Amino acid sequence: MGQACAVSHPQSTLITGIGELVTNDGEPGAFTALTDAALVIADGTVAWTGPASRAPAADTVVDAKGRAVLPGFADSHAHLIFAGERSAEFAARMAGRPYRAGGILVTVEATRAAPDVVLRANLRRLAAEMLRQGTTTFECKSGYGLTVPDEARGLALAAEVTPEVTYLGAHVVPPEFAADPAGYVDLVCGPMLDACAPSARWVDVFCEDGAFGAAEAAAVLAAGRAAGLLARVHANQLGPGPGVRVAAEAGAASADHCTFLTDADVDALTSTPVVATLLPGAEFGTRQPFPDARRLLDAGATVALATDCNPGSSFTSSMPFCIALAVREMGMTTEEAVWAATAGGARALRRTDIGHLGAGARADLILLDAPSHAYLAYRPGVPQVAAVWRAGRLVAGSPP
């Protein structure tokens, strides 16, 4: 009584003087940018975009001084629940030893032995590292626990930091089931799924020689879907195989890796809504041939780029690094690569609120210390993300 209630007015922020504003809100599926632009953030969303000369007033004004503004990166494929590291394996592989899926078991052992506090600290360190590099949305998989309690606790930890949580009990058959892989698939589709589904949005399976075959993968995805999860698949990474076909038949949001594709696989990716998510960090980290993005784009497939951040095959959290690889090694234009790392990742996560900066989008955006998106590939390895806003809040770096 006697004191007026504090009414909170949403603060608006005008970012003006933007040399290049990547909006991705023009023709569906295509990179779109404005020059000499401005953008208004209000209530956590993009309220207005247009020419700087016509920008409306706002509570706070940021002058981008000719720099580029992009949607925050959407990293739709990452394995961040783990303990330990495998730099010695990487060094040995670079010295000539081929990569085998079995290396995962080294991380499984370390992860099972780690207390929650260690897993949580590692996860949060990597999430912060991603944010500083402009990733405002990331997906996070389990898959290094491979027991009911270890998978369930990993997903509960992931759910603390992202809504895009993926159950990957079917990452590899753990050693205690080496003589009974069918028994392990039953566990993944039964008690483990029951324990994990409450924390997860997605179900994933590593469909590859040395991991899970077509029938096993289809069973895992069907069980996940029956528990309310959406499907995604590790497909065609180490050689030709049924992964893309399994993904298409399961109505998966994304087939990830897509390094070894037949013409039928490419047809499946163009005739269904399955996004082809390319993970060039994995080919870099295993010295394998890069996926042929040009072939997929020319055929009309939707392509996303993601890091595959994991301690074995691709220990990078950097979307700019993946963009640079995609442009230099995979035949993508700078526009296509930036679209794939933003709007493409959003498609792979079936999200319409991120990956673009049209009016109404969540205000997830990055200010580059560069005049155009092309600098991400033109100046590889150079930190160029100057500031990051997530849901309209400045969460990393600082404006000029």
Q: Whole-number minimum distance, CB 314 to Zn ion, in Å?
A: 8
Q: Which one of the spans 118-126, 144-152, 182-190, 308-316 is the region binding Zn ion (CB under 5 A)?
A: 308-316
Q: Which one of the spans 95-103, 264-272, 300-308, 328-336 is the region binding Zn ion (CB under 5 A)?
A: 300-308
Please provide the DSSP assignment of 140-189 as one string.
EE--S--SHHHHHHHHHHHHTT-SEEEEEEETS--GGGTT-HHHHHHHHH
Q: Whole-number minimum distance, CB 77 to Zn ion, in Å?
A: 6
Q: Which one of the spans 40-48, 214-222, 292-300, 307-315 is the region binding Zn ion (CB under 5 A)?
A: 307-315
Site string for Zn ion, 250-289 (x = CB under 5 A): ----------------------------------------
Q: Whole-number minimum distance, CB 237 to Zn ion, in Å?
A: 8
Beta-bridged to residue 393, according to DSSP, are 390
Q: Whole-number minimum distance, CB 236 to Zn ion, in Å?
A: 12
Q: Whole-number minimum distance, CB 234 to Zn ion, in Å?
A: 5
CA distances to 239, 296, 343, 366 from 72, rounded to whole Å, are 32, 24, 9, 6
What does the alpha-carbon distance between residue 261 and residue 100 come to, in Å, rounded to a whole number?
Answer: 20
Nearer to Zn ion, 208 or 308 (CB): 308
Nearer to Zn ion, 233 or 368 (CB): 233
Q: Which one of the spans 16-24, 34-42, 302-310, 338-346 is the region binding Zn ion (CB under 5 A)?
A: 302-310
- How many residues bind Zn ion (CB under 5 A)? The answer is 1
DSSP state of 231: E
Contact indicator for 61, 396 with CB cutoff of 8 Å: no
Cα separation of the two ends of the chain: 44
Question: Which of 150, 164, 308, 336 contacts Zn ion by CB under 5 A?
Answer: 308
Q: Which one of the spans 109-117, 154-162, 180-188, 305-313 is the region binding Zn ion (CB under 5 A)?
A: 305-313
Helix axes 148-159, 104-113, angle to 10 degrees: 80
Nearer to Zn ion, 77 or 362 (CB): 77
Burial of 96: CB neighbours in 10 Å, binned 0-12, 13-18, 19+: exposed
Return the ∠ at Cα 281 (arms to 287 and 346), rounded to 5°. Answer: 150
- Amino acid of residue 106: V
Nearer to Zn ion, 75 or 308 (CB): 308
Q: Whole-number minimum distance, CB 334 to Zn ion, in Å?
A: 25
| Residue 215, φ and ψ in degrees, nearest 5 | -65, -40
Contact indicator for 76, 304 with CB cutoff of 8 Å: yes
Q: Is 208 in the site for Zn ion (CB under 5 A)?
A: no
Residue nearest to Zn ion as judged by C-beta position: 308
Q: Whole-number minimum distance, CB 306 to Zn ion, in Å?
A: 9
Q: Whole-number minimum distance, CB 338 to Zn ion, in Å?
A: 22
Give the residue among 62, 75, 76 at the shortest CA–CA distance from 21: 62
Contact residues for Zn ion, defined by CB under 5 A: 308
